[in-house]
Amino acid sequence: MASSSRPGLVLLGGILLMNAPSAGMTQQLPSADEPIESRVASLLDRMTLEEKIGQMIQVNFPGEIGPDLRAAIEAGGLGSLLNVVDARTANEIQAIVTEGSRLGIPLLLGRDVIHGFRTVLPIPLGQAASFNPELVERGARVAALEAAAAGVNWTFAPMIDVSRDPRWGRIAESFGEDPWLTSRLAVAMVNGFQGGDLAAAGTIAATAKHFAGYGASEAGRDYNTTNIPENELRNVYLPPFKAAVNAGVVSLMASFSDIDGVPASGNRFLMQDILRGEWGFDGLVVSDWVSIEQLIDHGFAADLREAAFKAADAGINMEMVSRAYADHLADLLRDGEISLARIDELVAGILRAKFRLGLFENPYTDPSELPEIANPEHLAVAREAALQSLVLLRNERGALPLDVDDLGSIAVIGPMADDPYEQLGTWVFDGDPSLSRTPLQAIRDMVGDRVRIRYERGLETTRSRNTEGFVAALQAVAEADAVIAFLGEESILSGEAHSRADIDLPGSQVELLHALSEAGKPVIAVILAGRPLTVQNILDQVDALIFAWHPGTMGGPAIADALFGVESPSGKLPVTFPKVVGQIPIYYAHKNTGKPATPETYVHLDDLPVRAVQSAHGMTSHHLDAGYTPLFPFGFGLSYAHFSFADMELSAAVIGMEDTLTVEAVLTNNSDIAADEVVQLYVRDLVGDVTRPVRELRGVQRLRLDARESRTVTFELDAADLAFYGQDMTLITEPGQFHVWIGGSSDTDLRAEFTLVGD
Ligand code: BGC
């Protein structure tokens, strides 16, 4: 480390740290007591054009601090690096910039810390299944502490693209299909990463991404075009971003996609009119990886210079990896195409982020100040998150939980039973598979020598079509009292650029399951996957089915706890499960249409009489071969307990715009075990200035009820909860009639009605 001879550097715990900033530096930098705005202004005053443009450039860390990188940092030619992930290197880089560059402006060190760092939490879609913002916040806190200890001060998370297409690989990174739930979890994750004080050790800046509409990629094919009418954009795709901005998120990332022909990285309407204009955001928008250069591929810019112009004009503060800003902003300014005021504005957004993070006071990381990586507390949070993410989709004749005393032997089968890497899911650059506790290990730990376990993979991978392993698997089953099959998708089958057109279990897994079930033993399937799968083709073959997503480091113990009834599964689907891929997009908050389908008007094509007249079975909105309902609705998830809801009551039948309506129902646990239930409240605005969804989630409470306990659950609703964007694209709450439901899933039928009257 060449810089270790610099004055002011000390080694602490083997990590290079700085002493107090040198006298020269403190004189140059505005005082920490000044408000951030005046510090930003006075710093901007001292910056050369090159230094300003430097702040707008983010490059990928090449793996070592070579002479070029060092020279660029010393020249003030970089605002940020991504993918530096050890504290020693991070501190060396911060030392080079703060000591060696003219103005000593520290760097943002960005990394995709998406669902944990070394300790891996369930994929965000799995975390969403907990419907538990408090737990999601704690998970992000764990991730922030571990990432901060590696010198990371900025994460590119949370990903809050509303995702209604399970073909899209990136649905794994999302919180699912619902804008309201995504908004709550977005705020939770931002708070978890950023904490109460961004300058405190162990907090990192969050990024709300991808702004906006990326989840609507046509056909679920990644990077594809999105066409989102403005009203849908405002009512469905933007609310989570607005919530994150209101929660103080430091940055946003532009989406790769285009909306209505305008790619996000050059989209003034999104970046300027909405984000800055309507929402008052004054922080930092970073492009996505090379997304400014990709304006050329989109056919939106002729060359890199025009791409730089369009991105800067739209309001992208920092360019990730490509060189449009580096190579062309100065020319654009010289030629009068971009103003200095514009550049100053963009740089100010970056400097604000750095001031908020307290980097000017202390850009260094001292891991000894932070909790140990993957400590028991972190692992406990990961385990709790994995447990609450498990969704029980089927449980015939009480197949689960398994009773150790009833079983002499169990066959554990499948490619996902004992794979420490694959259970981690997508985006786990820093995840440590050696920390993973697999389901097989956890089952062995759980049953000890009371039950004999025979394990066979059956298939080498989830994609494998080589069925040679079936023989051994079936032998294991023949000797067993029950079968637990761990199936699903390997990590690489979801995530960025990993979309699928067919979302059945891949490879020969369906055949494997059919073969296992023929043995006539109870079959429990546990699916580990990055997206909803079309599992209709295996449902009849299994007695019980747990959907476990990619559950992360502690997936094994969480799954074992659920299988053996230490705890009931309590997750709920954050996204609708279709019967067949052709139903996509299918989501609970759909519009009613002018011809809504009903049980009376739907007949499967196999049952249609020959030469039936066209209108014999009504003319309603459905598929002849799949109906109009999903396989499992949003919010659905069974429990080992038996919950029921009754006695719904409203505090008033008529409320005014200023009133708060109280909605209550009684939840009863009719079983002999204690368990969590996720109570959900939905509303419907019957008539609107624009058509309104048939149901919209507006309340969630995760409650633990003792055996046989009854409890009154209370929600409050006010006019803001009923607001939506109307035809003129402003937020309105209209007087009129509303329905409200309470239950354990979006298809609950416990309903009440009220009327909202105008002032
Ligand atoms: C992804 C972003 C990610 C970035 C940096 C891109 O390919 O779309 O979500 O943050 O890479 O790794």
Task: Report how far ligand 1's centroid is from the alpha carbon of 109 (Å).
Answer: 14
Task: Report how far ligand 1's centroid is from the alpha carbon of 724 (Å).
Answer: 31
Task: Report how far ligand 1's centroid is from the alpha carbon of 423 (Å).
Answer: 21
Handedness of CA 322, 327, 328, 333 (dihedral sign): positive
Handedness of CA 730, 251, 499, 256 (dihedral sign): positive
Instruction: Tell me the C-alpha distance between 74 and 27, whole Å.
Output: 18
The pLDDT score that the predictor gives to residue 26 is 40
Residue closest via CA to ligand 1's atom 5 equals: 289
Instruction: Tell me the C-alpha distance between 485 and 488, whole Å.
Output: 10
What average pLDDT does range 492-512 have in this prediction?
Answer: 98
Question: Mutate which of 288, 294, 429 to test ligand 1's pocket (most atoms within 8 Å of Cβ)?
Answer: 288
Location of each CATH 2.60.40.10 domain in the chain? 643-757
What average pLDDT does range 374-397 have in this prediction?
Answer: 98
Residues 338-353 pLDDT 10s: 999 999 999 999 999 9
What average pLDDT does range 102-113 have in this prediction?
Answer: 98
Question: Mutate which of 112, 193, 290 to test ligand 1's pocket (most atoms within 8 Å of Cβ)?
Answer: 112
Location of each CATH 3.40.50.1700 domain in the chain? 383-563
Ligand 1 residue neighbourhood (C-beta within 6 Å): 112, 156, 209, 288-289, 496
Task: Report how far ligand 1's centroid is from the alpha carbon of 62 (Å).
Answer: 16
Residue 8 has pLDDT above 70, yes or no: no
Residue closest via CA to ligand 1's atom 11 equals: 289
30 confidence band (pLDDT: 50, 70, 90): low
Task: Report how far ligand 1's centroid is from the alpha carbon of 104 (Å).
Answer: 28
Q: What's at 198, amino acid-wise?
A: L
Question: Mutate which of 210, 496, 498, 499 to test ligand 1's pocket (most atoms within 8 Å of Cβ)?
Answer: 496
State both tokens at 245: 């901005």
Residue 684 has pLDDT above 90, yes or no: yes
Q: Which of 178, 288, 419, 561 is catalytic?
A: 288
Residue 11 has pLDDT above 70, yes or no: no
Active site residue 86: no
Q: Does domain 383-563 have CATH number 2.40.30.270?
A: no
Residue 21 has pLDDT above 50, yes or no: no
Question: Mutate which of 211, 255, 286, 289 to test ligand 1's pocket (most atoms within 8 Å of Cβ)?
Answer: 289
What average pLDDT does range 745-750 have in this prediction?
Answer: 98
Question: Looking at the domain covering 643-757, what would its CATH class be?
Answer: mainly beta
E strand spans, 31-89: 57-60, 80-82
DSSP letters spanning 60-104: E--SS--HHHHHHHHTT--SEEE----HHHHHHHHHHHHHHSSS-
615 confidence band (pLDDT: 50, 70, 90): confident
The pLDDT score that the predictor gives to residue 24 is 36
Instruction: Tell me the C-alpha distance between 336 and 305, whole Å.
Output: 13
Q: How big is the chain, counted in residues?
A: 759
Residues 229-273 pLDDT 10s: 999 999 999 999 999 999 999 999 999 999 999 999 999 999 999
State both tokens at 561: 């706890």
Considering only CA atoms, which of 113, 233, 212, 133 is closest in space to residue 175? Answer: 133
The pLDDT score that the predictor gives to residue 6 is 32
3-state secondary structure at position 504: coil
User: Across all residues in the chain, what is the average pLDDT?
Assistant: 95
What average pLDDT does range 204-224 have in this prediction?
Answer: 98
Residue closest via CA to ligand 1's atom 2 equals: 288
Task: Report how far ligand 1's centroid is from the alpha carbon of 646 (Å).
Answer: 46
3-state secondary structure at position 261: coil
Which atom, in ligand 1's list, is nearest to the CA of 110? 5
Task: Report how far ligand 1's centroid is from the alpha carbon of 5 (Å).
Answer: 36
Residue closest via CA to ligand 1's atom 6 equals: 289
Residue closest via CA to ligand 1's atom 4 equals: 289
Which atom, in ligand 1's list, is nearest to the CA of 173? 9
Q: Has this prediction a pTM greater than 0.75?
A: yes
